Amino acid sequence: MGEHMLKKLFRYYDYSLLVTVALLTGFGLVMVYSASSVWSVLSQEPPNYIFVKQFIWCMIALPCGLLGMVIPYQAYKSIV
């Protein structure tokens, strides 16, 4: 029963959009690392200090985004 529910849940998603979001997030993390590594070293912090902070926020946002995908949009109407 659980497998059938998962198949039904993920049947109608736009996977090209999900891949695009994942690629842009990864690209953004690389840009944060390349832009902030020198500043971090100059301010006596590890070179990946800001990158790690940004990565942690991405990992916090991932389950929130997945939760938002799973909740039907009709449920949002009752909240707003």
Per-residue pLDDT of the chain (80 residues), as tens digits, is 567 766 776 777 788 888 999 999 999 999 999 999 888 888 888 888 999 999 999 999 999 988 888 887 788 788 77
Cβ pair 32, 48 in contact under 8 A: no
- Which element (helix H / strand E) includes 69? helix 49-70
State phi, psi for 11 to the nearest 5 degrees.
-75, -40
| Per-residue pLDDT at 59 | 95
Cβ pair 18, 24 in contact under 8 A: no
The answer to pTM > 0.85 is: no
| Per-residue pLDDT at 1 | 52
